[in-house]
Amino acid sequence: MQQLTQNVRLFGNGYFNYYLAGDEEAALIECGTSAGAHIFAGQWEAFKDKPDVKYIVILHSHFDHVCGLPILKKLFPSALVVASSGARKILSKEKAMASAFNSDHAVSESYLKAGFIDRLPEIPESGPIAVDVVVGEGDRLLLGDNLKLDILDAPGHSACSVAVFLESDGVLLASDAAGYQSAPGEISPVFFQNYDFYMATLKRFQNLPLKVLGMAHGDIIQGEAVRQYLRQTTKAAEEAFAWIKEDLHAGVDEEQISQKVFKRYFKGGLSYYPADIMYSTMKLLVTNVKAKL
Ligand SMILES: [Fe+2]
């Protein structure tokens, strides 16, 4: 556990981050995978001064951000599950969630193989996930006497993405909406929904008074590095857009471009994910550049 600011603490293994906002009443932000939630559960057990977790907040519906929910719900049975309306729709689907938990299982096996966990996590139930509170732009979760968590719509990575902004602490929890930092200084652009929306979201983040940028994966960005990171991630997306566009104009086969995208951006913690799923996801970068030509 790491205390990030007065009201925000960090848990997780770095490949997947969990954020706890609040001292007495709290919200757990991000759900991760079963393997990630299993690691979180161990950390939680050792954590003293446990607050009353009122909310579990899902920031978008991709499998590595939702499949930890059943384990988290077992830890916090009375917590309300919070997500966007887009996420709620996807999480209610039998077929989508069956495939999500398949990918989740593959991550558990990779984590076991890598020694991040010593046994496969026990999943209380896998299937559709019920959302109790639907949130979107302008909504606010209140904790304790005066802690406010503002919800911002953050499209571009996925249509169902939201971010949490704690103005009191200058903290933005952005999930995957601000890119994927695979190594220090190396950012994979992840405009899987729409390039323009992704860039608009980044621009909006640049105008917020931020001291801490907490994403779902990788290091926490703090202080002056926040501005720098947001510039770098914008540049990474612009560069990806430019070279994919160039290849498309030059008539390079789309499958070949997708392979190139995959090779270049499938790195770091992503390598614990099922390669076939990630390949079809990475292909969306090519689709989304093509949509703008
Ligand atoms: Fe994602």
The rounded distance, in Å, linking the Cα atoms of 61 and 155 is: 12
Q: How far is the CA of 175 from the centre of ligand 1 (A)?
A: 7
159-188: per-residue pLDDT in tens?
999 999 999 999 999 999 999 988 878 899
pLDDT tens profile 46-75: 999 899 999 999 999 999 999 999 999 999
CA angle 1, 225, 157 (to 5 degrees): 80
Rounded average pLDDT over 123-127 = 89
Å from CA of 48 to ligand 1 middle: 31
Roughly how many angstroms between the first and final C-alpha of the chain, as a whole number?
Answer: 46
Q: Tell me, in angstroms, the distance from the centre of ligand 1 to residue 176's CA.
A: 5
CA of 157 to the centre of ligand 1 (A): 7
Burial class (CB in 10 A: 0-12, 13-18, 19+), 200: middle
What is the average pLDDT across 104-122?
A: 95
Residue with tokens 């008539």: 251
pLDDT higher at 126 or 93 = 93
**Span from the CA of 293 to the centroid of ligand 1 (angstroms):** 25
Neighbour tally for 167: CB within 10 Å:
13
The CA 61 to ligand 1 mean position distance, Å, reads 7
What region does 70 belong to: left with phi over 0, alpha with psi -120 to 50, or beta? alpha
How many angstroms separate the alpha carbon of residue 190 from the centre of ligand 1?
A: 8
> Is the per-residue pLDDT at 222 higher than 90?
yes
Burial of 260 per CB tally in 10 Å (0-12, 13-18, 19+): middle
Task: State residue 183's pLDDT score.
Answer: 81
pLDDT (0 to 100) of residue 271: 85
Q: How many angstroms is it from 281 CA to the middle of ligand 1?
A: 10
The residues spanned by each domain of the chain are 2-290
CA of 161 to the centre of ligand 1 (A): 8
**Ligand 1 geometric centre to CA of 252 (Å):** 27
pLDDT of residue 184: 78
Say if domain 2-290 classifies as CATH 3.60.15.10. yes
Q: How many A from CA of 60 to the centre of ligand 1? A: 7
